[in-house]
A and B are shown apart, each in its own frame.
Chain A
Amino acid sequence: MALFEVQGLTRRFLGVVAVDHVDLAVEAGQIVSLIGPNGSGKTTLFNCVTGYLAPDGGRVVFRGRDVTRLAPHRIARLGVGRTFQLVSVFPRLTALENLLTFLQQHQEENIAARLVRTRGVRRHEAQAIDRALALLESVGLSSRADALAGSLSYGQRKLLAFAAALMPDPDLLLLDEPAAAVNPTMINQMKEQIRGLHRQGKTVLLVEHNMDVVMDISERVVVLDHGQKIAEGAPEAIRRDPKVIEAYFGR
């Protein structure tokens, strides 16, 4: 059974069908890319499956459990991480604190224990700091650990957001245009990161416009156009698919 499954997902905005009966299945350990022209419904689909938008129809199943209409923080707690298309950090927290925030809810939920700072909570905090520093190192931000996230450059914030999504070690990671507006060196680094996740057996679903990245790292590509799935397959096959070429370049 697929780790993550979308069945007949539909979402309308004032009569415009943004996502139209889309089916999608992602097997555990796969890297799947979601591509399509602007406005084809990729981000809407992302927002529907992570709880940010309520779908008008269809189901979202994660690890055999129906998660349709669960609140975003509940879906996150089940082990689904995501990034946002527009750079998204907590500007008035430091880079390190940004990362720590992503792990603490997974480590314990007891607010009272947090208030009195029990031994267990302090141990969790120490573990979280170790992990956060290692992740900052891996995206080349160790020297900015104590800088306010709002003071980082656009590219650095993008890398920070990516590292933050990795903090709780999610089983499924949804990345919304991770390579957009990132310089070529960093893109290569990010591709390495995603491949690293793949080696650890993680599952990645990615929306991306950069075709080099898509063709290079994905095992399977799903193409959306006007909210509908028009093609699905291996990268080479998609590249030659006449329907895909038509959707991108017109007839």
Chain B
Amino acid sequence: MRPVRWTAGLLLLVAAPWIVTELVPNQQRYILHVLIFTALYGALALSYDLVVGHVGSLSLAHPAFFGIGAYGSALLGTEAGWPFALALPAGIALAALAALAVGVPMFRLTEHSFAMGTLGVALVTQIVATNWVDVTRGPLCVTGIPKPQVGALRIVTLPGFYWMALAAVALVALLYHALTTFRLGRAFHAVRDNEALAASAAVDPLKYRMLAFAIAAAVAGGVGALYVSYVGVLCPGELAVSLTVNLLVMIFLGGVGSLRGVLIGAAAFTALPELLRMAPTWRMVIYGLLLLVVVIRAPDGLDALLRRRVAASR
């Protein structure tokens, strides 16, 4: 039964562009755009959850790594003329290197000071992106970022970008699953649950925290590179702290530490603000109220709520 449902779900996702065209031909572009954002947000939220949900470090620096990957690949693509197939891995590598450099001092801090320190990293990165005009073009934004091209495969159409984003989130989901289960996942969770006890079990807390932090940053950098190749423009505002707030809402209201929960959260909280555009004046008020309802009705996330419903109906 399960494999059947999985295959059906996967086919549905892959076929989404055609289905959307059939069902709502005049809204096709808009809906695909929202789906692309959902997939990219899903990948980003999964990477963020590796740090917050699995090793239990409340990093607020995620927009910085997203931004480093985005700026790195965008500038290499426009200024240096690197092809996408090189600019993407370069963005990933730059973000991972930045995480390793930042992680060494940051992980000397504990809990709240770690959150504050990483918030500082996010703010400084955005300030640099805004003010280092010679390189980043500052508020004038990086424009004309080339479309993805690997060999003869060139992605230009909306369905093309949709499949690219879908492949990205699928790949990140597989990586997330491999990292958070079995022995590696156990070491992560041991560090999260009780650092002193983990050390007595010969698990090096710093090593596993750094590993999760660097991998999460690499993924965020990759998503950043894909994102700019899709929208074609990159402004410093994309690195704002509000991105962290969105990600926190997604993982905590979806289901922290759970693959399905985080994806549900990413889908719900990307689609919800878009649906609310129907009531433009009251949009943010309704959004806020809905967040409150979820927090009260499902404090441990939508995923847990779904699971309880399923268990109750049996």
Binding site for B on A (CB under 8 A): 50-52, 71-73, 76-77, 81-84, 88-93, 97, 100-102, 104-106, 111, 114-117, 121, 125, 161, 164-165, 167-168
Contacts and interface: CB of A to CB of B under 8 A. Distances in A.
B184 A114 contact: yes
B183 A121 contact: yes
Interface in B161-210: 178-179, 182-184, 186-187, 189-190, 192-194, 196-205
Contacts of B201: 73, 76, 101-102, 105, 164, 167-168
B190 A90 contact: yes
B193 A90 contact: yes
A83 B200 CA distance: 8
B225 interface: no
Contacts of B189: 90, 92-93, 97
B211 interface: yes
A41 B158 CA distance: 68
A76 B200 contact: yes
A106 B194 CA distance: 19
B102 to A, nearest CB: 21
B199 A104 contact: no
Contacts of B194: 88-91
B311 to A, nearest CB: 17
Contacts of B203: 73, 101, 105
A76 B199 contact: yes
Q: 9 tightest CB-CB pairs across the interface, nearest first?
A: A72-B199, A105-B202, A90-B193, A76-B202, A102-B201, A77-B202, A73-B204, A73-B199, A88-B197
A106 B187 CA distance: 12
A173 B197 CA distance: 14
A92 B193 contact: yes
Given A73-B202, A115-B178, A104 B186 contact: yes
Contacts of B182: 114, 117, 125
Contacts of A125: 182-183
Interface of B: 178-179, 182-184, 186-187, 189-190, 192-194, 196-205, 211
A245 to B, nearest CB: 35
A90 B197 contact: yes
Given A73-B203, A168-B202, A52 B186 contact: no
A220 B77 CA distance: 72
A105 B198 CA distance: 10
Residue of A51, A72, A84, A93 with most partner-chain B CB within 10 A: A72
Residue of B179, B183, B204, B205 with most partner-chain A CB within 10 A: B183
Nearest to B181: A117
Nearest to B199: A72
Given A72-B196, A168-B201, 15 more contacts: A71-B204, A72-B199, A72-B200, A73-B205, A90-B193, A90-B197, A93-B189, A101-B187, A102-B201, A104-B183, A105-B201, A114-B182, A115-B184, A125-B182, A164-B201
A124 to B, nearest CB: 8
A167 to B, nearest CB: 8
Contacts of A72: 196, 199-200
A111 B202 contact: no
B77 to A, nearest CB: 31
A113 to B, nearest CB: 9
Contacts of B211: 111
Contacts of A161: 197
A168 B200 CA distance: 11
A44 B201 CA distance: 20
Contacts of A116: 178
B199 A93 contact: no
A204 to B, nearest CB: 15
Contacts of A102: 201-202
A93 B193 contact: yes
A222 to B, nearest CB: 22
